[in-house]
Structures are given as C-alpha cells and as structure tokens.
Structure 1
C-alpha cells in the first residue's frame, strides 16, 4: 500500500492503466467491483493509486475487460508488486520533496529517459562541484547538511546510467554550454565530464544551437520516461518554481513526445554536439590562460 495513503507514481500508473482498460470495455466502477467481489470504493482507490490491486484482482479485472495480451498482463502484475517495494530513495525521504521522490521513482523504473534542459546541466550529468555551486547559489537557502544529502541522492541516481540500467538521451540548449552559471573552472570540469559521459553506449548528448531560434524558449525543462522495450513516452515530469509535476494524461504525453522529437531533429547530431562542446571548452581554457 502506498505510504501514508499517498499514491506513488507506480500505483498511479497501475491504476490509470486499469481505468483505461475498464473504460474501453464500457464498464463502470460498480461492475468492476462486482468482478473482484469488492465495494465500488476499492475500485476507485485502485484507479487513483491510493491502494494497489492484488494480482488476483488484476487478473479478474483484465479478464472482464477483455485484455488477454500476456505481455500487458505480466507488466501490470509486476507493476503491482513494484508498487509495494521500498525504493532506495525512501531512505532519504525526510530530506526530499514528495515531487522529487516521484521523479526519482520514475527514473529508477525507466528503460528510456529523455531530457530537455534550456537552463542548467541535468542532474544525471552534474559533477559534484557543479551541483554544489548551483545549490549554494539558490535564492532559497539550502542548509549545508541538506546539500550533502542531495549529493548522495544524485550519485545514486547517476549510478543507473553509469551501470547501463537505462538508455539516456538529453538535449541541452547552447546557452547551457556557452554561458557558465558557475565559476569558469567548475564549468570547464563539467563540460569535460559531459564529453566523457557522452561516450557511453547508452548515452546520447545533443546541443540545440542558437541558430534554432525561438525553439529553445518554447518550453521549460522536462523529462520523459518509458518503461518497456520500446521508447513510448509513458510519463513526463515538468520543472517549475515550486518543484516538479508529473503528467500522465495521453494528450500531455503525446504533446511532450512530439516536442522532444522536434527538439531532437533541430539539435546538432551527437558528434557535432561534442565538437561544439570541445570548442567552447578550448575557448574557456584559452581565456583563462
């Protein structure tokens, strides 16, 4: 069951899928409740993610909804089991915002992670020095001990990419590369790290150049997640002043999948992006000498 009755991203994903199949079968919640011999309230709470369905309930509902695809059924049963699994990030829950916990849970489950970042180096690429400089420059004071805690969390997040646990693609606006928000030395270290990380087989780094025009300012930073063998966007997180929000509606997912494809097609190819980053890195070194 979700902690303290609060839906987790896993239980929400499960509930949303079951609701989609129920509606496709043209059944209401009362009819679904009869299928699992429960009160209508339980079906409602399953679909909103406040409780996680048991495997037997999932099988019974999918039978009633006419969903017989073995892969789909196995996926939803596995999702139900995962919704009860305690993630490593919960050890840090006291120090993290609930929306950040949701983001980490999506990241941890994902097979494909795609990010657009027009302002900062993404957390999955940040060096400790860069992350600390950004945190200490935050207008909202962050206590030193919390910065240290956030660094531990970031290292754990980055381990998934380092170990090849997901295919990671990111698009950075050229301003992120060309206009340092931190000291020149830290920025140089960060650019060098991006070039090294970009050599990994599971990582793709692209730069959206200034020549792409207003496209870079059309949308704020977002992350898109896929959870199967195909890179179909199944969840999106948006960064905002108050934290982050999770989008799971079909129309929202389609819009952000299309936006990422547009950004990717307008960005420099990975090799050309690496060449641009190396050129900027050389310029910074020349200016410093």
Structure 2
C-alpha cells in the first residue's frame, strides 16, 4: 500500500523541486509564515538593488549559506542590526525597513511561543513530518485531493491503525499507539473556529477494504458525520464519472493561510505531494496555481456535498 501524507504520519526527509525546501526540516515552528515573508521581502529588495546573495551576506556579516537560508525562509538567526545594514545597502524606503523589522519581531515572538504541540510526539514521527504539521497548523483552509486513502484529519483510529500495520508490520504496539495518538491530536484542528477543510475523494477511497469490512464501514459513517460539521466539506468523485480529472495529477494537498498578525502580509499558498522516495513542497506561484486549477476542475466533476453524503450512506449500508 502506498503511504499517503493524509494517511500516515511516517514521512521521509522532505524533498522539493518547487524551491529550496530540501535543505532540512528546521522550518517547523510557529515562525514558519513570517520567516517565509521575510525571505521574500529580502529577495525582492536585493534583486531590485542588483546585489548577489554573496554580496548581501557580506553586508549582513554572515555566511552566504546563512543568507541563502534566510531568503528561503529557513530558521536562521537574523538580527535587527543585520536587517538595518541590508536595508541601507538596498536603499529601502522607511516603510520597507519597518516591514523587515516588524517581520523579524514577529519571528521572535512566534519562536518564543514554542515549536508546537507536536513536539511531545517527536518519537512518533519520521523526520520531516513536523514541517507538514507546522503548515497545517498555520493554515486557515486546507484542500486535500485523495485517490487512495481517507485524509488523516478524517480517519477513524481503527482505519489509521490498519494502515499503520500494513505499512509498518514490525513496529511495536507502543509505537503504533503513539502514532495513533498523534493522528487523533491533529484532528482537533477541525474544531478550531475559522478553519476550513475540504476533502475531495474518489469513490474508490470508500471501497478499498482497509482492515476489514467493519473498519471501512465505520470509517464511511465517520465521514458522513464529519461532513455535517461546520467548516468541513466532503465531496466524492463517483466511479461512474467519465472525466478522469485528478487521476493523472495524483493526490495532493493545498494549504491557504490567513494574513500575518503583525505585518498583515498575505502569505501565498503551498502545495504538497508525497513521493515514494521523498516529499514535495511547492511554493512557486506558477506551480501552485496549477494545483489550484486542478482542484477546481475536480470540484466540477465531484458530487455536491449532499449528493456525496447520499452516496456515502449507500456505501455504508452495503
């Protein structure tokens, strides 16, 4: 069985072709979004001023590698003194300088608040999954297109357990239970005010006999129940649909974010795909927009939420 980001919290080290996010898994705490924003602002000012990253690193008195990590949004220490020096070199306006310093302050405040609830489950995660959790926690809307498994935020404990044993049969019961506890803790996100989760699923997801017929029946009934909750929408692409939209793109997840608290900057969305040998985080606008368009095309062939509930109800009775 293929592992899925929405199926199992067992991730390999993240790999990306969308940008330079394959450098490590340190961009994982509440400062993820302001770090991304600071990196984008610095890159924009640097390119406008005609500086190379190497020249910029000398201005900030840090290594070229460290400066590159800052622009990529990774966790690297940046001081107000260094930012002021860069603002001077880039001939930034007063407004641009204030924005850089405001973002730096927001990073410090977010970092001081902690790295997230998932730290307590570090022993239950493979390297890289904490980055996914940070994006999920920071998002105000998540769209998940899945063609093989139920999204993790909507899985029952028995369904998740069946997937875990199938992919990791040698794990101890204690390790498996820790993984299941982590999965259930993630699902609290669905109760957060203002959070929206959209699940786009193939009908096949509901018919794969994961664990046993009773496990999948309970899972389908759970989907029906959750689909009636505020902020949760489940839509099914029926097997009878002749337009194979979504099948060629494979499963993916789209994260959308609210404006940053202090600077009010709007962070651009991120797309995610899991691969067998590595995970792909896509941030470039032109590439993320392709996934957004694909999600829109899938919505056009998917059943309405009410018709999807009717189909799930029929399947649960079979």
**TM-score range, shorter-chain basis?**
0.7 to 0.9
Does the residue aligned with 2:222 lie in a helix, a strand or coil? helix
How far residue 31 of structure 1 moved from its aligned partner, in angstroms, is 6.2
* Partner Cα separation in structure 1 for residue 104 and residue 269 of structure 2: 14
Matched ranges for 1:1-289 at <5 A = 7-9=26-28, 10=32, 13-14=36-37, 16-23=39-46, 25-28=48-51, 29=53, 32-33=56-57, 37-39=60-62, 41=64, 42-48=66-72, 49-54=74-79, 64-66=91-93, 68=95, 77-79=105-107, 81-83=109-111, 85-138=114-167, 141-164=170-193, 166-210=195-239, 211-228=241-258, 234-242=269-277, 244-282=279-317, 284=318
* Partner Cα separation in structure 2 for residue 82 and residue 123 of structure 1: 26
C-alpha RMSD of matched pairs (Å): 3.2
1:70–1:44 Cα change, 3 Å: closer
Stretch moving more, 233-242 or 198-207:
233-242
* Partner Cα separation in structure 1 for residue 306 and residue 103 of structure 2: 36
Does the residue aligned with 1:124 lie in a helix, a strand or coil? helix
Unaligned runs of 5+ in 1: 285-289
Stretch moving more, 259-268 or 83-92:
83-92
Contact kept? 1:224, 1:257, Cα under 8 Å:
yes
1:129-165 Cα deviation digits (max 9, x unpaired): 1100111122664332221111111111101112336
Aligned residues: 278
* Partner Cα separation in structure 1 for residue 84 and residue 233 of structure 2: 39
More helix by percentage: 1
* Partner Cα separation in structure 2 for residue 76 and residue 278 of structure 1: 50
Q: 1:287 maps to what in 2?
A: none
Contact kept? 2:46, 2:56, Cα under 8 Å:
no
Contact kept? 1:52, 1:80, Cα under 8 Å:
no
1:247–1:15 Cα change, 3 Å: farther
Per the normalisation by structure 1, the TM-score is 0.81
Q: Say which structure, 1 or 2, has more relative contact order (CA 8 Å, 6+ apart).
A: 2
* Partner Cα separation in structure 2 for residue 252 and residue 154 of structure 1: 29
Unaligned runs of 5+ in 2: 1-23, 260-264
Does the residue aligned with 2:143 lie in a helix, a strand or coil? strand
